[in-house]
Structure 1
């Protein structure tokens, strides 16, 4: 937590620096990206367990690779506010205790994200750093194949707010606003997983998701 707090203050301090140029105020930047979403998914605590999970049960969430649309508004030449649009889908499998057992199937997520970024102009390379907030909204979650024989009828993952750190670089191509983008985000967000048998809560566990989200693609600033 101390590392996160230090990083957050560092990012905010950078963003607070006065912009060196104002001629690009009002600019928009559109990015079309290929994105890898690489979550953790480890269990941090077991709150309810009437099934009797093995004591060493541990889980991980599957990776996903999706297209992403990002839109940034430049409030000055150096500072922008960015949001992204994507939908990712993940399974959660046991890696110990019940190795290979699918516990959550097709968890479909909208990671609503806003970041404030500070851009450095190094000529042929325009790196940036940023920080922001996210809301993980699970729009569909299905019971995993291994849970259905146990009588599980419903599985849920809780929607949660979280924190995001971001770094990347835009590489201009020519003078017409086109470029290449390399981007990495680290999310810090948890979720509570629940498995129901009818109306009975059979299992409730807390999970660290904390995904790395890495992207590469093209951008256009106008």
Structure 2
């Protein structure tokens, strides 16, 4: 029986060594020319602020979430370009105004962001990165039930920078998990009732996402 125990222990050690070697082989790392497509979910969390003419107060945009699609291309194992695409619906209000809280209805935001990233450990299974992006946000699809006498709200498209941090985790040679955070610095101009009231909305949202990525 002792002999069988020794053989079983040796077999388990060999199996463990084989598994470790297999894991080493399976770790592919990032390479020049890699292209990854990701699908997941994103949360947009405005920090809010700004100013409003005539009635005073602070413009506010609500938190929102949506599906996310992104693509990443690697010029080198360390340097990549990432583009995200998502659209979220936000409730707009003005708080602490001369009229109290004013409901401005809802609007959809489309914020494509192109980010240059530096991947610090491209050959590791856990691969963090930092970057900076250029964001352009478009607003469309106005709706909801704004407070009277609000009958027209418009938010101008805006351009801003987006500091970025994130991490990839390689679960298989062609599959990765991704966690990503951006801070999009945007201060769009807005108008109510064809310009009767104007505002600068310092939205500056944190954009937090989780995605599964496939590498071609």
TM-score (norm 1): 0.77
Between the aligned partners of 1:212 and 1:156, the Cα distance in structure 2 is 22
What is aligned with 1:145? 146
Mapped contact 1:165–1:187 kept (Cα < 8 A): yes
Between the aligned partners of 2:132 and 2:114, the Cα distance in structure 1 is 8
The two structures, once aligned, show a CA RMSD in angstroms of: 1.9
TM-score (norm 2): 0.79
Q: Which has the higher strand share?
A: 1
Within 5 Å, which residues of 2 pair with 1:168-207?
A: 168-174=166-172, 176-196=173-193, 201-207=195-201
Long gaps (5+) in structure 1: 1-22
What is aligned with 2:16? none
Mapped contact 1:119–1:126 kept (Cα < 8 A): yes
Mapped contact 1:58–1:95 kept (Cα < 8 A): yes
Q: Deviations over 1:171-209 (max 9, x none)?
A: 1103x221111100001111111011xxx5320011101
Is 1:27 matched with 2:40? Answer: no
Please state how far the C-alpha of 1:144 moved relative to its aligned partner: 5.0
Please state how far the C-alpha of 1:134 moved relative to its aligned partner: 0.6
Name the larger-Rg structure.
Answer: 2
Mapped contact 1:143–1:154 kept (Cα < 8 A): no
Within 5 Å, which residues of 2 pair with 1:12-23?
A: none
Between the aligned partners of 1:190 and 1:140, the Cα distance in structure 2 is 19
Please state how far the C-alpha of 1:138 moved relative to its aligned partner: 1.0
Long gaps (5+) in structure 2: 1-29
What is aligned with 1:221? 215
Please state how far the C-alpha of 1:124 moved relative to its aligned partner: 2.4
What is aligned with 1:69? 69
Q: Deviations over 1:110-164 (max 9, x none)?
A: 1021000011226221000000201111123347521xx21x3321001011001
Runs of 4+ aligned structure 1 residues displaced above 4 Å come to none
Within 5 Å, which residues of 2 pair with 1:33-112?
A: 33-43=40-50, 45-46=51-52, 48-49=53-54, 53=55, 55=56, 57-97=57-97, 98-103=99-104, 105-112=105-112
